Amino acid sequence: MEAASITETASAGPPARKLGDVINAYALPALLIAALVAQFVYDQTGTLNDIKTGLSNGTIWALIALGYTLVYGIVELINFAHGEVFMIGSFVSVSLWATFGVDERTGIPLMILSIIVVLAIAMLASGTLNVLIERVAYRPLRNAPRLAPLITAIGMSFILQNVGLLWRPTPDSAPDLIGSQKDYFTIFHVGIEHSDVFAVVVTVPLLVALLWFIGATRYGKAMRATAQDPDAARLMGIDVDRTIQLTFLLGGLMAGAAGLIYALYNGTIRFNQGFTAGLIAFTAAVMGGIGNLKGAVIGGLIIGVIQAVSDSGEYLGLPLGPQWTPAVVFGVLIMVMVFRPQGLFGEETREG
């Protein structure tokens, strides 16, 4: 009799947990989409414009967020210096264009060639810098208490920020090589600007290439094995130190590309741009699910749209503006963390 009762209770459990998991997984994304649909009903053209701006801006946050989530996924370290690596990518790009005299008056073929070449150099510079940071500041602390590399990462962030301050002490303008504010075309009364197309055209191939590299190549499998269990990966013959270096290199490459896109997209660079951008990108990585690459990308796009809606000035008649944007973004993040601590798409870490 008792055995029968236990069996009946055990068989009734899974459906209830499954329903709870479904609600837990889809309720928050559904709520965010519903909030956007409500704004669309209130102001169709304004909402479409906000979505367009948010998605193009969000691609930059997604590129930076990938660096945070890659590193955390494999060594469980919040690389606070990653925002400054992104800043260096912007500085390298603008400095190269200034050195070689490339500006708005340069011919289109040479201008396109310069963007491609400078993009490769900026990515390489940021990637190399990230590898050096790992080798000098993080690897010696691999077995130290977690607080030690965390403080070191904050220290590296301030050091690089001061390098930027010495390099370009005041906000500087980037050459408008893409005619960033000009419209390519208009759809549903929304102008699609050169900067929007440029951000998407450069970012999407990089994101696809990164996801393919990690998902399909031998090195990507080594990264995933190291992220899951470094000791077991080492026993299987994987060079864990080299794999971690590769992870930092990939994160730096994405940050360098984001730095160039940011410079051409916004038209200005400054030594402390990495602090704000890094904070937003890290928020995107946490919102999507730290360690989850697709989550970092979607998180970046979501935050881009939230920022654009807030910056537009109002939501359903409620007055907003750029001064409220950080509060709105982090308010949404807190809501996500309270109801789904593992992020919208779930963590992919050793603990997760």
In the chain, pLDDT over 70 holds for what percent of residues?
91
pLDDT at 189 over 90: no
| Residue 345 in domain | no
Identify the pLDDT of residue 21.
64
pLDDT band at 313 (very low <50, low <70, confident <90, very high): confident
pLDDT tens figures, 1-33: 444 444 444 444 445 556 556 666 677 778 888
Spatial separation of the C-alpha atoms in residues 301 and 342, rounded to whole Å? 18
Q: In the structure, what pLDDT confidence band is assigned to residue 291 with cuts at 50, 70 and 90?
A: confident
In this structure, of 10-14, 96-100, 111-115, the range with the lowest mean pLDDT score is 10-14
Instruction: Give pLDDT, residue 132.
Output: 95
| pLDDT given at position 26 | 74
Residue 70 lies in a domain: yes
Of 62 and 142, more confident:
62
Total structural domains within the chain: 1
Strands (E), the chain: 172-173, 183-187, 190-193, 268-269, 314-315, 318-319
Amino acid identity of residue 18, one-letter, is K
Is residue 95 within 8 Å of 118, Cβ to Cβ? Answer: no
pLDDT at residue 350 is higher than 70 = no
Is pLDDT at 111 greater than 60 in this prediction?
Answer: yes
Q: The tokens 């310069």 sit on which residue?
A: 114
3-state class (DSSP) for residue 9: helix
CA distance 327 to 325: 5
What's the predicted TM-score (pTM) here? 0.87
Q: Tell me, what's the pLDDT at 2? A: 40
Do the beta carbons of residue 276 and residue 64 sit within 8 Å?
no
pLDDT for the residue 18: 62
Closest CA to 294 of 201, 205, 223, 210: 210
pLDDT of residue 133: 95
Helices and strands in the chain, H and E counts: 12, 6
Task: Give the C-alpha distances (Å, rounded to integers) separating 242 from 123, 219, 222, 314.
Answer: 19, 10, 10, 49
Six-digit token string for 7: 């069996």
The number of beta carbons lying within 10 Å of the beta carbon of residue 113 is: 13
State whether residue 98 is helix, strand or coil.
helix
In this structure, is residue 19 part of a structural domain?
no
What integer best gives the mean pLDDT of the chain?
87
Asked whether residue 12 is domain-assigned, the answer is no
Identify whether 18 is part of a domain: no
* Residue 23: inside a domain: no
Query: CA-based angle 209:210:212, to the nearest 5?
Result: 65
Query: Other C-beta atoms within 10 Å of 157: how many?
Result: 22
Residue 25 maps to a domain: no
Residue 4: predicted pLDDT: 42
Domain range enclosing 129: 42-171+185-339
Pick from 261, 81, 221: which is nearest to 161 by CA?
81
Nearest-angstrom CA–CA distance, 190 and 187? 5
In the predicted structure, residue 163 carries a pLDDT above the cut 70:
yes
Summarised one tens digit per residue, pLDDT across range 118-160 is: 999 999 999 999 999 999 999 999 888 888 988 999 999 999 9
- The CATH number of residue 148's host domain is 1.10.3470
Q: Is 5 a domain residue?
A: no
At residue 181, the 3 state secondary structure works out as: coil
| pLDDT for the residue 335 | 86
The pLDDT of residue 20: 59
Task: Record the tokens describing residue 207, joined without a space.
Answer: 């994101």
| Window from 23-27, 98-102, 131-135, 293-297 with minimum mean pLDDT | 23-27
Cβ proximity of 59 and 204 under 8 Å: yes
Comparison of pLDDT for 320 and 90, the residue scoring more: 90
pLDDT band at 175 (very low <50, low <70, confident <90, very high): very high
Instruction: State the average pLDDT over residues 63-92.
Output: 92
Distance CA 288, CA 33 (A): 15
**pLDDT above 60: residue 261:** yes
Q: Which long-range contacts (CB under 8 A, 24 or more apart) does 146-150 make?
A: 146/76, 149/77, 150/77, 150/78, 150/80
- Half-sphere CA count of 211, side-chain side, radius 13 A: 14
